[in-house]
Structure 1
Amino acid sequence: MKYITILVLFIFTINSTAQKTLNIVNNTGLTIQATDIVSRTTANSYPELHSKSSVFNILPFTTYKMVNTASLTRFPYNSTVSTPTIPTWQSISSTGAVTYLPANTAWLGGANQSFYYFRFTVNNIIYYIGNGFNPNPYPTFITGAGFTAQYTVLGTPGAPIYNILIQ
């Protein structure tokens, strides 16, 4: 009984501290150029939010991490633990209208947003990996020149941990 109580407390602690997190793990000797991180509403509709105004490199054998330290349930647009941070997000409506939002403003609408897809380049070739849900045309597993990439999600529905492993 003692072990069951400890196990229940351990699981409760993990779930109560879980936050919407995005991990992009580069376990290759290649430099990954991150050209767009995209989120959509949990209903897979608009608005879409894009990071494409902030292009950055994920160096070999490093991880780029976005964590929402201020809320358990909002997408981590305003991640202060990320290096580099993404200061501006592009919001696209269903009509195609574009608005640029500071990260702290984008963060306010992040409760209904979830990971949609990641666009990146390796050796000047563009790749996409997505969450695999319709209408997303991007797969959860891809093979590129000298690497594979896989998308998985862990955590809870309210506080998922999105993972992209490139190896």
Structure 2
Amino acid sequence: MTDSWIVLVLVALGVFLLMEIVAWAAHKYIMHGWGWGWHESHHEPHDDLFEKNDLYAVVFAIFAIGLFAVGTLADLPLVTAVATGITLYGLFYFIVHDGLVHQRWPFRHIPHKGYAKRLVQAHRLHHAVKGREGCVSFGFLYAPPVEDLTDQLRRSGRVRQEQDERRPAN
């Protein structure tokens, strides 16, 4: 049963989806908590190719590589499927978060509609707060509605004044 390719694909896809919850929790409670020392570099302007925050990707990659090794050496296809789901999430994170949202690639694309635009806007609202406290939108591939995030920031009183001044009136 666990060698069935359908089961293994479903496990990998399930882990991929579960990784958004894991990433949300890690972002909110680790990166904006005791792990702020690495993540702070992501919230500061810089022109370097890499930032200290990229070490989180290295940690997740080492974990996935370890699972691939265990799954392969111990002939445990389910473990390999879990590693595949984690790796796919990392690939999507790299494409969407680093590429589309933060424009860390040599080519630029700014989405003007739909899901991609909402994702970019939500992440910009995440960065609208200076420092680690009071941020919103901790997911990487899911973004709550921008209006909800804006209201949440307003209620917190932590949004930068210039952010309010730049946003067009409805």
Structure-1-length-normalised TM-score: 0.25
Structure-2-length-normalised TM-score: 0.25
More strand by share: 1
**Structure label with greater radius of gyration:** 2
More helix by share: 2
